[in-house]
Structures are given as C-alpha cells and as structure tokens.
Structure 1
Amino acid sequence: MFSLIYFSVFLAAYFYIENRFGVYNQLSNVFLKYLQVGSKGFEDINQELEIIKSSTNYTYATLGILIVSAFLYPLNLGFFQIYRKIDLKEEVEMSDLFVGYNGLNFFRYTSYFVFWFLVCDMLKPTLVLPFLWIIITLFIAPLMFFQNKTIFEGISLSWKAIKAYFIEIIVCTIVAVLFKYVGFAVFLVGALFTFPFWNAMIYSLYKIIFTEKD
C-alpha cells in the first residue's frame, strides 16, 4: 500500500509538472544527443544543460518535485509505527501508515525533509559528501518519532552511533540500497515490495543501537 500510494501520487505530480514545464523532456533530448554525438559534442551539450538549468521552468519544476517529495515523506514514518506494533504484538491498522500526517507531525517531518534535501543538494558537487550526509542522518527520523528529538540532537546521536557501529551501518546501508532498488529490475513490479526495505533496515539498526528511556 505504501508503494502504491507513493508512486501513484509522485508519478501523477511528475507528469503534471512535465506537462506544465517540459523540462525533463528537454533534459532527455540533451542526453539522447550526447549518446549520438559522444564526447566530441560535450561542450555544446554542457551549454545546453546550463541554459535549461538556468531557466525559470527548471526552477519551478525542481521546486514542484521537492514539494511533492516533502509531502510524501511522512509516509515513511508510518513504517516505524507499524514495525513497533509488530514488535509489541499489537494489531496493525491501515491508519498506522499515515501517523506521520497527524497534527504537527506533518510539519515536523516535511520541514526535516526539506532541510535534509537542501543540504544534500549543496553537497552534491563533491560526490562523496552526499553519501556521508545520508549516513549521518540515518537515524534522525526514528529519533524524532520515538524520542521526540530535534534535528540537531538527532545528528549528534547518529554521529555517536556511526563511530561505535561504523562497519555494521555501512554494510547494512549498502545492502538496503541494493535491495531497495533491485525491484525495479524485476519488471518494475518488484519495486512495490522492495522499495520500503530501506525503512526496515533503519528501524532494525535503531532498535539495536539506541535505548529509549521511559
């Protein structure tokens, strides 16, 4: 259900944004041109990309995708609620998936996602630092959800966990990323089942590493 809701909303928004601004079609054309011309036309293609990225339509399209992604992010928190109920042998309900949208939760988690995305986007040119940022922020969401920590408290606690369990966290992260996206290789349908695996990995590590105080 998570995957169906997530992909339905995201793809509907994506096609609307593409139909409205046409940016991704332009980027696809530039990519196809690069495949045809090769490295000889790299400078011309790079100039075309810069023109597209500096356009108002590109800014609006990027902002639109960010807003949709932020809106969908609280769905992930529903998994933590569901996993905790399974551990406690409590009955899982459909409404548990939407717990991230209850009251102020929606604004807390969407704000966190926007903050996370903007930092990751700024670090993107370095190639390595975005991966480090993902690792550092791995436990912020469950810490906010289960222990009501702030973003910066979460970063501090996550950093301590990384220093103590570095190898385990890196290995689990790599496996989770591979498993999360392997579903796309199985006629795309497999992604409906493997896409949420990332949340299961985070919860499992969180449960082992952190102790919650009553």
Structure 2
Amino acid sequence: MQNKYPQKPGIDFILKQAFFYWNKTLIFQLMFSIIYFAIFFTGMFFFGSRFGIWEQSQELSEALRLGTKVYMEKAAAMSATENYQKFSYGILGIIVFLYPLNLGFFQIFRKMDLNEKIVLGDLFAGYNGLNFFKYISYFLFWFFIYLLTAQTIILGVAWVFVTIFVAPLMFFADKRIFEAITLNFKALKMYFVEIAVCIIVAFIFKYAGFALFLVGGLFTFPFWNAIIYSLYKTVFSEKN
C-alpha cells in the first residue's frame, strides 16, 4: 500500500464530507455514546464504591464550605492516598479499554464508501483479534505523552496534531506507531491549516451537543471520528 498526497482540497469539502459521514450514521453515533458512557459510568461507580471515593468526595464538599485553602489541602491529601490512586488506575483502564470503539467508525465509513452493508458489529471492529492489544498499547502510549504535554497546553495541542492520523494509518495501512507518526508529520507540514481548522470544528461540535441540547451530545460526542476519517481519506490516497 502506497501513500501519496493529492492536490489540496478545500476545507469546506473536508468538513462537508465529515458531516455527511456523521449524518448518515446517526444511529451508530447514538449506539457508540450509549455503550461508551454506560461502560464508563458503571466502571466509575464500581471503582468509586470499591475504594471509598464517594465518601471522600463528601468530605471534599464539606471542606469547600470552610474555604478554598482547606479544600485544596483536603484534595491534595485525598489524591495522595493509595485508594485514590487505585481508583485513578481503574478509570484509566476503562478509558483505554473503550478506545478501540472509536476505530469501528473507520470500518463503517469505509463500508459506506464501498457501498457495503453496515451492521452493528462493525462498531466493534477495533476489538477483533490481536489488533485490540495493538490499539490499546498505542492509546496508552498516546495518553501518557498527552498527560505530560497537556500541562503546557501548547505541547498538548501539538501532540494531538502530530498523531491525528496514527489510528487510521494503523487500522487501514497496518503501520507501526512511529512510522505512522512520521507520515502524520509529513502530512501536517502540507495540510496544517486544513487540519487545524478541522480539529477546532470537531472539538466545538463534539461538545456543543451537551452544552446546547444535553441529550444531543450523545449524537455529537463521536463526531471526532468522522473528521479524522474525512481528513485521512483526503490527505492519504491508498492504492494496493
């Protein structure tokens, strides 16, 4: 499989394409969000109860009434406890486990391009076989780097930019992580404005549903995947 960069399309074309994929798969967008949040909150409440986090949260609420300084001291003490650290690891495990759910949309969108029948099982394409471990390993690597760089904000944003195509390159072209990052960086130099605008639009639209329509967020939350696929399809031309 070879990768080349075609003539630059307009930003409007990329966005219209992304909204087309999103609009045509609304039922899968809804199913994604329901499955994602059901597993996430179930896991969060389970680990919270197991490690006594809810009781500590009540103590935090009471500390807040006594002033910001007392609250900050209580929060720092709470975060240093072994149970809180176990709770954090539990939440991280849930997030990592749920990451491959995003990759199912790549298969769904590709099937749309090929006029193939889409089934609910396509949403779980990222969990098929040993590739599941490849994807969660990548996300663990991505997430830890993001945690380190996000503290500076600028570096965190830069990390998102230089890895935006890694997942689809791994999924479609079977690229290794660092090979995919190299290809991503080359694409970024040529399509920086397009990528930047699309990332901003994706971020705003992804959370706008929760801010404006509450339950509408269940439809907009996975929109990020449509943007990534539209960008990937535009930037990378695949030929066997």
Name the TM-score, length of structure 2 as normaliser: 0.81
Match of 1:120 among 146, 154, 157: 146
Q: Which runs of 5 or more structure 2 residues have no equivalent in the other structure?
A: 1-30
Matched to 1:128, the amino acid is I
Q: How many residues are treated as equivalent by the alignment?
A: 210
Corresponding residue for residue 228 of structure 2: 202
Q: Which runs of 5 or more structure 1 residues have no equivalent in the other structure?
A: none
Higher RCO (Cα < 8 Å, 6 or more apart):
2
Matched to 1:168, the amino acid is E
- Secondary structure of 2:214's partner? coil
Q: Deviations over 1:45-93 (max 9, x none)?
A: 4332322222111211111011111111111110000000001111111
Q: Deviations over 1:98-152 (max 9, x none)?
A: 1111111110111111111111112232222111111111110000000000111
Matched to 2:199, the amino acid is T
Matched to 1:135, the amino acid is F
Corresponding residue for residue 87 of structure 1: 113
Corresponding residue for residue 2 of structure 1: 32
Corresponding residue for residue 12 of structure 1: 42
Corresponding residue for residue 189 of structure 1: 215
Corresponding residue for residue 157 of structure 1: 183
In 1, Cα distance between the equivalents of 2:145 and 2:121? 32
Match of 2:92 among 62, 66, 80: 66
In 2, Cα distance between the equivalents of 1:179 and 1:152? 30
RMSD of Structure 2 on Structure 1 (CA) = 1.9
- Secondary structure of 1:212's partner? strand
Q: Identity of aligned pairs, percent? A: 52
Name the TM-score, length of structure 1 as normaliser: 0.90
In 2, Cα distance between the equivalents of 1:162 and 1:194? 25
